[in-house]
Amino acid sequence: MAPKSKFELKTPKGTKDWEGKDMVIRDHIFNTITQVFKRHGGVTIDTPVFELREILAGKYGEDSKLIYDLADQGGEICSLRYDLTVPFARFLAMNKDIQSIKRYHIAKVYRRDQPAMTKGRMREFYQCDFDIAGTYDPMLPDAEVLRIICEVFEGLGWNGSYTIKMNHRKILDGIFQVCGVPEDKIRTISSAVDKLDKLPWADVRKEMTEQKGLDGTVADRIGEWVVLKGKRDLLEKLQNNEDLAANESMKKGMEDIALLFEYLEAFDVLDRVSFDLSLARGLDYYTGLIYEVVTQGSAPEVTPGHEDEAPKPKSSKKKGKKGSEDDDGSDDPTIGVGSVAAGGRYDNLVGMFSGKSQIPCVGISFGVDRIFSITKAKMAAEKSAAVRSNDVDVYVMAFGKGFLKERMTVCAKLWEAGIKAEFLYKVKPKLPAQFKAAEANGVPFAIFLGDDEVASGKVKIKEMGLQDGHPEKEGILVSLSEMAKEVKIRLQRKRELDDMTRQAGGLRVVHGIKDDKANDGEKKEDEAKPEATPAAAEPSASTEEQTPTNPTA
């Protein structure tokens, strides 16, 4: 009998387990995005993780090959959802009483893509979507979605380190028509142009001509336009071209962009936008404005006709193990991740399911795993951030006899007051072990119980990490009845102090992530004891000065 082959215990290709500090960072991203969605009136929905295959068929163009098909389970042929947009359109088509909604949805999607794990390119990953469905005056919902994008990335501390590239499907179609692209080739040529953020123009032109049969002269005309980017200056250039200005598709697209610029100026986000004619977005269901968010260095610059000068992706000096999944190579955390968020207007998708009934929609999808991978890589590169694995505010300790039940009672009172607290699961723990447990996670406050405290019905509250000579270095005694109130006062005071310190010194405090340069040189990074604070546990979604770690979706 042949011996059984050894089973390798691992997660499937393109997936991973999440735990510890990674979860803290990811939860902060989720929380920041959710707060912005709710601020704009969003309501959440949920849909099945798999859909009938025919629901997804024909919606994703050339990317349809990336859909995970499931085995026949007895009559219904299903596939794992590729994104959250098509299921949302199906939801609207089934619920005809809903004619307008601001909906958000945070869930996993699945794509049979080539994974690159450290860059956030995975086969199972989270998307955070916000969509506005309904019939409204032109470009108002579109402008609000772009405002939402800015609020999310500013809330994550990316101040100024990202760009929203935008274009319009009708402008792109108009350019293709004027350049001489046959009508039946417009979508497939659009798909080729969409690769300009990853490939030099020479490669894209070769795909157009050799693989898709486009005349080389037509491809060269396209190349003259897709290099252009700007704001109102580019719009004026398009408007002043007689051939383009006479095209009906171009006229409609340019009207929309002109109006959008006015609204973005009112929303104070025009400076974050780049009108970029190379942006195509390969999905078939887009009908109007399209956009994606990129970070500094996340995609190569493309200059048609100058392919020799086009930057090539950095390659890693060290090759991974044979069969490694993460082979995209760059040591720069912002290279190779592509866009970190993307979306656009899709006015006809609902009608694909409901026949005559159309509901115009526009939305954005944030790629949390790409945002996470950039954030984590930047933190590692800067060597200036420590992350707490939980948000505990108070560690309850005891001297001498252990006072187990008394510690349990104190914790119960703190929990009842909404204060995050822990104690060591030992009947008679040693004091160093209790300190070690508290310090390992940067718990900011400790409550001590000893013979005198227990006898008098009091506890000692001590802020961790105070310098010698501080008037409260040894802590303060308070009655058990006043304990929770006093702890809340001190937590609030510490939050305010941390906020002032951060604003004055540019420190980064983001949900348990804090600048810890004071500890550099004293301890190795892996051994450093984070001085996390309650302020780190409840970050402001405002603008913290932080060197971007640009996410990517």
Point out the annotated binding site for L-histidine: 83-85, 111, 127, 131, 281, 285-286
**CA contacts within 13 A on the Cβ side of 187:** 12
> Are the C-beta atoms of 320 and 327 separated by less than 8 Å?
yes
Residue type, 550: N
DSSP letter assigned to residue 457: T
Structure tokens at 516: 């810890």
> Are the C-beta atoms of 347 and 89 separated by less than 8 Å?
no
Q: Which residues are annotated as a binding site?
A: 83-85, 111, 127, 131, 281, 285-286
> Are the C-beta atoms of 56 and 85 separated by less than 8 Å?
no
Structure tokens at 112: 């049979």
Residue type, 333: P
Q: Indicate the SS3 state at residue 169.
A: helix
Structure tokens at 384: 């200036």
Q: Please name which of 62, 59, 78 lies closest in space to residue 70, comparing C-alpha atoms.
A: 78
Residue ranges of alpha helices (H) inside 316-450 are 351-354, 368-382, 404-416, 431-440
Q: Please name which of 167, 171, 218, 216 lies closest in space to residue 196, comparing C-alpha atoms.
A: 167
Distance separating alpha carbons of residues 294 and 300, to the nearest angstrom: 11
> Are the C-beta atoms of 366 and 380 separated by less than 8 Å?
no
Angle between helices 186-193 and 216-226 (to 10 degrees): 50
**CA contacts within 13 A on the Cβ side of 515:** 16
Bridge-based pairing of strands 394-398 and 385-387 is unpaired
The strand pairing partners of 125, in sequence order, are: 109
